[in-house]
Amino acid sequence: MHDRSPNGHSSWAPPSPWDMLLGRLDRLDRHMMEQSSRLGGLEQGQEISLDNDREIFGAMRTLSDRVMTLEVARTQPPPPPSAHPIPPPSAAVGLLSSITDLVRALTEVLPRAREMLLALLLLAAALGIAETKPAPKNAETPAAPSSESSSAP
């Protein structure tokens, strides 16, 4: 058996301490690059997490402001009635209900009214045509003089 040198081949000379140091520095550099990319990912994740936290805290602040506004409004006395009072919602609902009932009634009546109007127009047209026709000749009307009566002296 023969000895193998640390560089992997027996015929080659062993690496110098400087080469070994450079190899180790190269490995350390690669390791540091890996760690820095991991740290970059962690930093990016932290920034995303902080942005999400800022959004959540902003939303919570908005909600808290709204709750405080509602609590203040609830504790304050109601404002004095104005000159034009606002109708209660039930009146608006009743008005809307009556309007929809009226529209439904109109949709049921209008087709029938159209038919009636058309029948009246046809009747009026028929009567108008009947009045413009000449009257038929009756037996009571004197006949035109015939040729026999005119020939007698």
Entry pTM:
0.31
Q: Does residue 19 surpass a pLDDT of 60?
A: yes
Residue range 95-114, pLDDT digits in tens: 777 878 887 887 777 777 77
Q: Is the pLDDT of residue 143 over 50?
A: yes
> For the segment 23-61, what is each residue's pLDDT rounded down to a tens digit?
999 999 998 888 888 877 888 888 888 888 899 999 999
pLDDT value for 1: 45
What pLDDT does 27 receive?
Answer: 92
pLDDT at 10 over 70: no
Q: What is the pLDDT of residue 149?
A: 52
pLDDT above 70 as % of the chain: 67
Tell me the C-alpha distance between 9 and 15, whole Å: 11
Percent of the chain surpassing pLDDT 90:
6
25 φ, ψ to 5°? -65, -35
CA 21 to chain centre: 69
Which pLDDT belongs to residue 144?
A: 55
